């Protein structure tokens, strides 16, 4: 349906005068030339060197491979406070953590604006998700609404930190503590949240799940981490994962394993290990790039960041923005955002729309129990947000300037495009 709407807008834009022809979407030259941007995971020769260490180790797997253990140690040192256990993926980490706390109740409270992969393990663990609308200023769970759902049968609250934002929600955590509800943080996109960033303190969490997949900060292929202070949860990784007791090399089969085999990929672990040393620098660069870009586009009408780019505790996996539809007189719905994204993409800017539906609509097993209309803030974000990717190094200030130039070019004609299309007799059909 969106597609038709976009084509409609585009066709109209073309028929109502031609000052827009400088736009790349209508045949003009794009601002960012192909090949100018370094896409993440920003491949380097040193990654080959890291892979080589695995080959030379003579072993390509094992949960306790020295490369994996060393990576766990380095991440532990980098973050402080927690123990870290590598697993197969971020999703596996969430599953292990939910599985550990599942006896505390039947339900898990989480945000309707969410990554389906984060929510899937709730059902896998035999639990039932309870969805909460988001706080518009966080793009994260609304803490008041969530806390009011903390009934005695709630086992855990799953707090998802999207785009590199930090969802502190102190009130929610405090209420969870008094009710004995497990607090699990999905920080797959926010690696910086495992450091002491809450006024110098650590986030109050029972378990954090981290992803090392190729798109995330550790950009390592397929990898995840259980991060916790609880030594029994660290042990629980093996109960869920390892059928044989391969952590200590014995040839004994576990009598209690769930057999999910969530072993970390050693090749990915080697790449991740090579990135830990540069992690602070990477985060710094992502933040400064996002701040630079924002400073150059913040005066453009109707453009709103999802969270404050000047807050230097964010992990800025991507730089999320939102279009304020009312500002342009656009009606509700995703059409206007989709059109703007298309204009920017044509200029060569790596902007993307990610999620388009509340998370339950991606999950056939639970879809029928929930209605999108009950989550107005989630829908508002889903219809208006998009993000700029490729803000990581080696992309620098010059690349951010190109992105900003493209935003300016598009915004220069946007009001005219809108008013010209309005001049047509027929009403705009979004
Ligand atoms: C990437 C991601 C996951 C899952 O991580 P994988 O390693 O891909 O399984 C979970 N939650 C969020 C928010 C993510 O971005």
Q: What confidence tens digit (pLDDT) does each residue in 100-158 have?
A: 999 999 999 999 999 998 899 999 999 999 999 999 989 999 999 999 999 999 999 99
Q: What is the pLDDT of residue 424?
A: 44
Helix, coil or strand: residue 355: coil
Mean pLDDT of 402-413: 96
Which residues are paired to 77 by β-bridges? none
- The CATH code of the domain that includes 373 is 3.90.1150.10
The whole-angstrom separation of Cα 367 and Cα 343 is 33
The whole-angstrom separation of Cα 60 and Cα 265 is 8
DSSP 153: T
Mean pLDDT of 150-169: 97
Q: Is 369 part of a structural domain of the chain?
A: yes
Mutational pocket test of ligand 1: of 41, 113, 120, 213, the residue with most ligand atoms within 8 Å of the beta carbon: 213
Q: Is 35 part of a structural domain of the chain?
A: no
Quickly count: other Cβ atoms within 10 Å of residue 354's Cβ: 14
Residue 256 pLDDT level (bands cut at 50, 70, 90): confident
The percentage of residues in the chain with a pLDDT greater than 90, rounded to a whole number, is 79
**Cβ-proximal residues to 222 (8 Å cutoff; 6+ apart), any chain:** 88, 89, 212, 213, 214, 265, 268
Is residue 339 domain-shared with residue 311, that is, in the same domain?
Answer: yes
Cα within 13 Å of Cα(346), Cβ side: 19
> In this structure, are strands 154-160 and 107-111 parallel, antiparallel, or unpaired?
parallel
| CA 80 to ligand 1 center in whole angstroms | 22
Region for 212 from its dihedrals, namely left if φ exceeds 0, alpha if ψ lies in -120 to 50, beta otherwise: alpha
The whole-angstrom separation of Cα 52 and Cα 87 is 21
- Which atom of ligand 1 approaches the CA of 161 most closely? 13
Which residues are paired to 108 by β-bridges? 129, 156
| CA 117 to ligand 1 center in whole angstroms | 6
Is residue 233 domain-shared with residue 329, that is, in the same domain?
Answer: no
- Which atom of ligand 1 approaches the CA of 162 most closely? 13
- Which atom of ligand 1 approaches the CA of 189 most closely? 15
User: Is the CB of 160 within 6 Å of ligand 1?
Assistant: yes
- The CATH code of the domain that includes 253 is 3.40.640.10
pLDDT tens track for 277-290: 999 999 999 999 99
Mean pLDDT of 374-401: 97
- Which atom of ligand 1 approaches the CA of 222 most closely? 7
Is residue 65 domain-shared with residue 142, that is, in the same domain?
Answer: yes
| CA 223 to ligand 1 center in whole angstroms | 10
Domain, as residue range, for 401: 3-30+279-423
Q: Is 155 part of a structural domain of the chain?
A: yes
User: Is the CB of 90 within 6 Å of ligand 1?
Assistant: yes
Is residue 25 domain-shared with residue 138, that is, in the same domain?
Answer: no
Residue 248 pLDDT level (bands cut at 50, 70, 90): confident
User: Is the CB of 320 within 6 Å of ligand 1?
Assistant: no
User: Is the CB of 118 within 6 Å of ligand 1?
Assistant: yes
| CA 114 to ligand 1 center in whole angstroms | 10
Q: Is 360 part of a structural domain of the chain?
A: yes
The whole-angstrom separation of Cα 386 and Cα 359 is 17
- Give every strand in the sheet of 154-160, ordered side by side: 83-87, 224-228, 207-211, 182-186, 154-160, 107-111, 128-132
Is omega for the bond preceding 41 within 30 degrees of 0, making it cis?
yes
* Burial of 77: CB neighbours in 10 Å, binned 0-12, 13-18, 19+: exposed
Token representation of residue 312: 């230097």
Is residue 272 domain-shared with residue 333, that is, in the same domain?
Answer: no
Q: Is 24 part of a structural domain of the chain?
A: yes
User: Is the CB of 189 within 6 Å of ligand 1?
Assistant: yes
Is residue 260 domain-shared with residue 321, that is, in the same domain?
Answer: no
Residue 189's alpha-carbon distances to 163, 216, 317, 337, in angstroms, are: 6, 6, 6, 23
| CA 91 to ligand 1 center in whole angstroms | 6
Is residue 243 domain-shared with residue 364, that is, in the same domain?
Answer: no
DSSP 24: G
Q: Give CA 66 to chain center in angstroms.
A: 30
Q: Say if CB 217 and CB 393 are below 8 A apart.
A: no
User: Is the CB of 384 within 6 Å of ligand 1?
Assistant: no
Look at the block and give the residue holding tokens 């998370």. 359
Q: Say if CB 421 and CB 428 are below 8 A apart.
A: yes
- Domain boundary (249, 276, 303) is at 276
Q: Is 37 part of a structural domain of the chain?
A: no
DSSP 194: G
Is residue 248 domain-shared with residue 294, that is, in the same domain?
Answer: no
| Closest C-alpha residue for ligand 1 atom 14 | 188
User: Is the CB of 115 within 6 Å of ligand 1?
Assistant: yes
Residue 4 pLDDT level (bands cut at 50, 70, 90): very low
Residue 411 pLDDT level (bands cut at 50, 70, 90): very high
Is residue 195 domain-shared with residue 319, that is, in the same domain?
Answer: no
Mutational pocket test of ligand 1: of 164, 209, 216, 389, the residue with most ligand atoms within 8 Å of the beta carbon: 216
Provide the number of structural domains found in the chain. Answer: 2
Q: Say if CB 118 and CB 204 are below 8 A apart.
A: no
Q: What is the pLDDT of residue 274?
A: 97
Q: What is the pLDDT of residue 3?
A: 45
Q: Is 428 part of a structural domain of the chain?
A: no
Is residue 213 domain-shared with residue 305, that is, in the same domain?
Answer: no
pLDDT tens track for 291-335: 999 999 999 999 999 988 888 899 999 999 999 988 877 888 999
H or E stretch at 378: helix 376-384
| CA 215 to ligand 1 center in whole angstroms | 9
Is residue 246 domain-shared with residue 346, that is, in the same domain?
Answer: no
Quickly count: other Cβ atoms within 10 Å of residue 318's Cβ: 26
- Domain boundary (247, 276, 305) is at 276
Q: Is 39 part of a structural domain of the chain?
A: no
pTM of the predicted model, to two decimals? 0.93
| CA 276 to ligand 1 center in whole angstroms | 19
Is residue 272 domain-shared with residue 287, that is, in the same domain?
Answer: no
- Domain boundary (246, 276, 306) is at 276
């Amino acid at each position: 349906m969106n597609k038709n709407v976009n084509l409609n807008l585009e066709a109209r834009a073309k028929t109502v005068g031609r000052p827009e022809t400088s736009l790349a979407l209508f045949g003009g030259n794009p601002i960012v030339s192909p090949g100018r941007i370094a896409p993440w995971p920003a491949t380097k020769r040193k990654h080959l060197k890291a892979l080589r260490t695995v080959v030379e180790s003579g072993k390509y797997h094992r949960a306790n491979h020295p490369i994996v253990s060393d990576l766990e140690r380095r991440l532990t040192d980098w973050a402080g406070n927690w123990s870290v256990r590598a697993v197969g993926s971020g999703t596996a980490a969430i599953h292990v953590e939910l599985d550990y706390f599942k006896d505390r109740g039947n339900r898990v409270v989480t945000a309707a604006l969410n990554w389906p992969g984060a929510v899937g393990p709730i059902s896998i663990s035999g639990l039932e998700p309870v969805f909460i609308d988001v706080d518009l200023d966080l793009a994260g769970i609304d803490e008041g609404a969530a806390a009011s759902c903390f009934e005695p049968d709630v086992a855990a609250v799953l707090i998802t930190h999207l785009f590199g934002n930090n969802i502190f929600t102190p009130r929610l955590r405090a209420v969870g503590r008094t009710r004995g509800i497990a607090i699990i943080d999905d920080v797959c996109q926010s690696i910086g949240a495992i450091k002491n960033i809450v006024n110098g303190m650590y986030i109050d969490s029972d378990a954090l799940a981290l992803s090392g997949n190729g798109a995330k900060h550790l950009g390592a292929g397929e990898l995840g981490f259980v991060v916790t202070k609880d030594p029994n949860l660290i042990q629980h990784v093996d109960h869920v994962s390892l059928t044989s007791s391969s952590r200590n090399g014995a040839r004994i089969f576990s009598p209690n394993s769930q057999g999910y085999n969530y072993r970390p990929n050693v090749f990915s672990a080697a790449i991740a290990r090579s990135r830990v040393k540069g992690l602070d620098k990477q985060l710094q660069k992502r933040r400064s790039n996002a701040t630079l870009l924002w400073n150059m586009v913040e005066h453009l009408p109707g453009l709103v960041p999802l969270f404050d780019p000047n807050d230097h505790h964010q992990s800025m996996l991507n730089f999320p923005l939102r279009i304020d539809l009312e500002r342009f007189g656009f009606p509700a719905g995703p059409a206007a955002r989709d059109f703007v994204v298309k204009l920017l993409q044509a200029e060569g800017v790596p902007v993307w729309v990610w999620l388009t539906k509340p998370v339950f609509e991606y999950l056939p097993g639970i879809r029928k129990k929930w209605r999108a209309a009950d989550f107005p803030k989630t829908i508002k974000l889903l219809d208006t947000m998009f993000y700029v990717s490729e803000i990581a190094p080696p992309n620098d200030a010059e690349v951010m300037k190109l992105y900003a130039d493209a935003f300016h070019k598009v915004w220069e004609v946007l009001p005219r495009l809108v008013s010209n299309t309005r001049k047509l007799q027929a009403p705009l059909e979004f």
